[in-house]
A and B are shown apart, each in its own frame.
Chain A
Amino acid sequence: MDQIKIKTGVLIEIENGAVKETSLGVMTAAAGQDIYALILGRDASAVNAPSVNAPSVNAPSVKDKLAEYGAGTIVSISGAEDLSAYPDLQALALASAVKEYNFETLLGTASATGRDIFARLAAILDAPLVSDCVEINIEEKIVKKSHFSGKTMATLKANGSIFLCTIRPNSIEPVAAATAGQLVEFTADTQSTGLIKIVETKKATKGLLDLTEAPIVITGGRAIKAAENYGMLETCAQKLGAAVGASRAAVDAGFAPHSMQVGQTGKTVSPKLYIACGVSGAVQHYAGMKTSKVIVAINEDKDAPIFSKCDYGIVGDIFDVVPVLTEKL
């Protein structure tokens, strides 16, 4: 018997002209459903274009990539005016697409942008939203997510006719599931409230990977001793395809900016691999990275608390160990 497919919208994020890996994972979370890939505003111009910054000229277009990962329909959403500078308009445009297509489920990435737009949308639609889910059962509207900084796992059930959910990056591995992928255009009926506007976007000076979305994170604690020593971690990170993080002690000492802090008052990361270099393993740090799949710790003190909370431990000086690791990669 054929299972009844649920109309599921997936908000796609595009970076440098290519579909983000995390968005493909979100489509996989909806595997088997009737998937509509939704592309908003400025991202929409990229739909048919070959990925601009992609390494090869033969790189598949955004549309082909989305079809390859299961999008039966690809909806390019534009507004009556340019959406890109107005976060509230983006949410309104998405709300109008939800009504147009009667989605029962709407999924996105729990990235800074995804979290913001989904919370705006949940408020507009007065619909249930669960942020940062690691598992989802679309038929039952049941999800799993961390509560209390990863100390417990909660199972939540949503009521209502539409269910919104953002998926934690790296929690669901993208799996291809090719479909024909039909492209449609949708113009949302939106009018700016004029209440909020993005007036400036400051690009990062270095081509850094996003901490919360990176598949691998390498962090330097107080042991890094100076801001310039992060260079050693950056070199390693480049080979790993990793983002670089910091402990609060390193941030407070001025070695790294706030934006790099991992932990209770910093960012929560959940990569496949987390490498802690010269981090003692305080609970507040652990709170921000404990849901990582594999944790490796390098510390010169064999009794450091981090060794009781990691998967693989290396007793040694980070300045001896990290360069050798980089060389072996």
Chain B
Amino acid sequence: MKIFVCLKHVPDTAINIKVVGINGYEDSELKFIPNPYDEYAIEEAVSIVEKQGGEVVLVTVGKEAAQATIRGAMAMGADRAILVKTDSQFLDSSLTAKALKAAIESDGLPDMIFTGKGSVDTEGFQTQYRLAHALGMPIVNEVSVLTLEGEKILAQRETGSGEKQVIETQLPCMIGATKGLNEPRYPKFPAIMKAKKKQIKEIDLSELGIDTSKGQVAIEKLEAVPERSGAKMLEGSVDEQMTELVRILKEDEKVL
């Protein structure tokens, strides 16, 4: 099995985002992490290859700084990686998908491609579908249970209200991972050392022949959302507090 995992390099979700200019954010001092849902994708790919043999290749479209994120993620057991370098903080999803497609095709088509269900920075929820369509591969997203039976794939996804769908497809295919699929491993020291020697091939976005002026969605403005402050603490007996709370929710907030 040859498996690609699309890994996005995103700001640590525990960290504050400082907006600079009208539509950018300060990223040079910021701690970056692998997109959390992509970690489920890596874990699933690595555990399939551990069982069936083959290789796991990470592919990232991002700034040079994504090297560090890729290196860390390779310690989870990926064999090598490709970084498509861009200068943009927010690359349009359709362009990202084109870049991923070009990088994957130049390396040779895989049996499977894993992605996360969505990225936690731009929350786009679409790159994987665009890539799947461009490659002519079926895709199932938000998968929390995956079964491989030879060429046949059964992927379970949740559709709301606790309802679950089991979708059947076959190789080659794409899977968007979400929580529940597995427990991403915590790399141990030897794996981290080994990852240091693994290859990260770099390609410049400009080498892929993609017209980057043709973005579909432009980010016009980015604004910090003020944090909540000064909560109203209720007082009195439990009974008094709940009477007051219900009154507030009904009359002042009008949410009941």
Question: A: which residues have CB within 8 A of B?
Answer: 15, 87-88, 111-113, 115-116, 118-120, 122-124, 126-132, 142, 145-160, 193, 195-206, 208-210, 212-213, 215-216, 240, 258-259, 261, 264-266, 272-273, 283-284, 287, 290-291, 293-297, 307-316, 320-321, 324-325, 327-329
Contacts and interface: CB of A to CB of B under 8 A. Distances in A.
A205 B164 CA distance: 11
Contacts of A120: 129, 133
18 contacts: A122-B126, A122-B129, A127-B216, A128-B216, A148-B121, A152-B224, A153-B223, A153-B225, A154-B219, A197-B168, A202-B163, A259-B158, A283-B13, A293-B253, A308-B228, A312-B234, A313-B234, A325-B245
Interface in B107-165: 118, 120-126, 128-130, 132-134, 138-142, 144, 154, 157-165
Contacts of A261: 179
Contact of B246 (A118, A130, A206, A329): A329
Given A202-B163, A258-B179, A266-B179, A116 B231 contact: no
B180 A116 contact: no
Contact of B216 (A88, A159, A308, A315): A159
Given A132-B123, A157-B220, A199 B231 contact: no
A294 B160 contact: no
B213 to A, nearest CB: 11
Residue from A113, A294, A315 with most neighbouring chain B CB atoms (10 Å): A294
Contacts of B224: 151-152
Contacts of A215: 255
A242 B141 CA distance: 26
B191 interface: no
A158 B217 contact: yes
A199 B167 contact: yes
Contacts of A203: 162-163
B161 A209 contact: yes
B157 to A, nearest CB: 7
B96 interface: no
Nearest to A159: B216
A66 to B, nearest CB: 21
Interface of B: 11, 13-14, 16-17, 19, 23, 25, 36-37, 93-94, 97, 118, 120-126, 128-130, 132-134, 138-142, 144, 154, 157-170, 173, 179-180, 215-225, 227-229, 231-234, 238-239, 241-243, 245-246, 248-249, 253, 255-256
A156 B218 contact: yes
A264 B35 CA distance: 10
B221 to A, nearest CB: 4
Nearest to B127: A119
Contacts of B13: 148-149, 264, 283-284, 287
Given A113-B160, A131-B125, A123 B168 contact: no
A119 B13 CA distance: 24
A149 B256 CA distance: 26
By Cβ-Cβ distance, the 3 closest A-B pairs, closest first, are A204-B162, A123-B133, A128-B216
Given A153-B223, A216-B255, A264 B138 contact: no
B256 to A, nearest CB: 7
Given A151-B225, A215-B255, A283-B13, 16 more contacts: A148-B121, A152-B25, A154-B219, A156-B219, A196-B167, A197-B168, A204-B161, A213-B160, A273-B253, A290-B225, A307-B231, A309-B231, A312-B233, A316-B241, A328-B245, A329-B246
A145 B124 CA distance: 10
Nearest to B224: A152
Nearest to B132: A123
Contact of B233 (A112, A146, A265, A315): A315
B220 A88 contact: no
